[in-house]
A and B are shown apart, each in its own frame.
Chain A
C-alpha cells in the first residue's frame, strides 16, 4: 500500500510569499495518478491539481504542481489571505485504491 507523507505539518507565511508543500510517496507513483486538494474550514475539499501538474478548472495560475516518482510538490506563489487552508495530496493506485496524505496546514500571517 502506498503511503503519502506530507511536509511540513504546518506552514506559516506572509501574503505575497511563496509556499512549497511536499508530498512523498512510500513507493513510486505514476504522475497521472497524483492530485492536490484544498480544504478550508467547514468546507469540502476542492480539486486544485491533477496529473501532478495540471490545474483544475477555475484554479488560478498561482497554484502549480510538479514532481515525479516519489516526490511531488505543490507551489503557491504570491500568497493571498484566502489561501489559508489545509492541503492534501492524493494518489490513485491499482485495484483501484485512493490514498490521501495527512495534510499540510497553511497559515497566512
Chain B
C-alpha cells in the first residue's frame, strides 16, 4: 500500500523559512520513473504545484516560486523535504505531497496534507 504523510510546523512567522517533510512508504524513490511532488492549496482556493523531485535527483520548480523553494530527498529514510524561504501570509495553505508515477504521469497518490498558517 502506497502512503505519503506530510509533517511540519502549523504556524510560521513572516520572513521565516518553512521546512516540510514528506515521509512515504510502499514505493521507492530509486525506482526509475518515480517522482514526488509538492502541491499547495490556500483556503477555499485552487491547487498550485510547487516542486518535483525525480528518482535520479532531477529537480523542478514552479517558475513563480523558484527562487524561494528547495526540494531534496533522503532515499534511506524514504523522505522528501521542501523548504520555502521568506514566508508571507499569502503562503497560508494546506501543503500536500504526492507521488508521480508514469503511467499515469499524474499525481496518483496524495498525502492527507498539512495546514500551514503564516502569521506574526
User: Which residues of A are at the interface with B, using a C-beta cutoff of 8 A?
Assistant: 1, 32-33, 35, 37, 43-47, 50-51, 54, 56-57, 88, 90, 92, 95-103
Contacts and interface: CB of A to CB of B under 8 A. Distances in A.
Interface size class of B (residues with CB under 8 A): 20 to 34
Given A44-B111, A98-B37, A92 B47 contact: no
B47 A88 contact: yes
B63 interface: yes
Contacts of A54: 103-104
Given A100-B49, A101-B46, A50 B103 contact: yes
Contacts of B113: 44
A44 B110 CA distance: 6
Given A88-B47, A98-B49, A102-B46, A35 B62 contact: no
A97 B63 contact: yes
Contacts of A33: 105
A50 B47 contact: no
Interface of B: 37, 39, 46-49, 52, 60, 62-63, 96, 98, 103-113
A93 to B, nearest CB: 10
Contact of A51 (B39, B96, B105, B110): B105
A44 B41 CA distance: 10
Given A44-B110, A44-B113, A102-B46, A50 B63 contact: no
A45 B49 contact: no
A35 B48 contact: no
Contacts of A50: 103-106, 108
Given A88-B46, A100-B49, 10 more contacts: A32-B105, A33-B105, A35-B105, A43-B112, A44-B111, A46-B110, A90-B47, A92-B106, A97-B60, A102-B46
